[in-house]
Amino acid sequence: GQNIDQPTEMTATEGAIVQINCTYQTSGFNGLFWYQQHAGEAPTFLSYNVLDGLEEKGRFSSFLSRSKGYSYLLLKELQMKDSASYLCAVMDSNYQLIWGAGTKLIIKP
């Protein structure tokens, strides 16, 4: 079966760095997405990785290793507004998005 695993909840301190991991097992791979979702709102796109390596975009970076079925989202210089759920999603061979359950990130002052 298809499976996306990510931690349920993480806590970090304002100004610090946090890494949210995602492991996946899917039938085929056409890219991995990270989305941010604030409570009561729709997800917003953060990053897309299809090749191995690190993609940096401001305070957020995303890493992919296809051979390990592994990705992480790195958030630097954490701000209170970064408190949200972070969803990992993999696009399978049918171009369908398979979603992880999301990681709730709590930022403390």
Partner 1 sequence: GAVVSQHPSWVICKSGTSVKIECRSLDFQATTMFWYRQFPKQSLMLMATSNEGSKATYEQGVEKDKFLINHASLTLSTLTVTSAHPEDSSFYICSARDSAGGETEAFFGQGTRLTVV
Residue with token string 């403390």: 108
Residue 32: enclosing H or E segment and its boundaries? strand 32-37
Q: Give the interface segment with partner 1, choosing from 17-25, 43-51, 57-65, 73-81 (CB under 8 A).
A: 43-51
Identify which range of 18-26, 59-67, 74-82, 87-95 contacts partner 1 by CB under 8 A.
Answer: 87-95
Query: What is d(CA 75, CA 48) in angstroms, rounded to the nearest whole number?
Result: 15
Phi, psi of 81 (to 5 degrees): -70, -10
Among 31, 60, 66, 74, binds partner 1 (CB under 8 A): 31
Binding span for partner 1 by CB under 8 A among 10-18, 29-37, 60-68, 70-78: 29-37
Interaction of residue 45 with partner 1, rule CB under 8 A:
yes
Burial 8-44 (b: 16+ CB within 10 A, else e): eebebeeeeebebebbbebeeeeebbbbbeeeeeebe
For partner 1, the binding residue among 3, 44, 65, 93 (CB under 8 A) is 44
**Binding partner 1 by CB under 8 A: which of 42, 51, 53, 67?**
42
- Kindly list the residues in this chain that would bind partner 1 in the complex (CB under 8 A): 30-31, 33, 40-45, 48, 87, 91, 95-97, 99-102
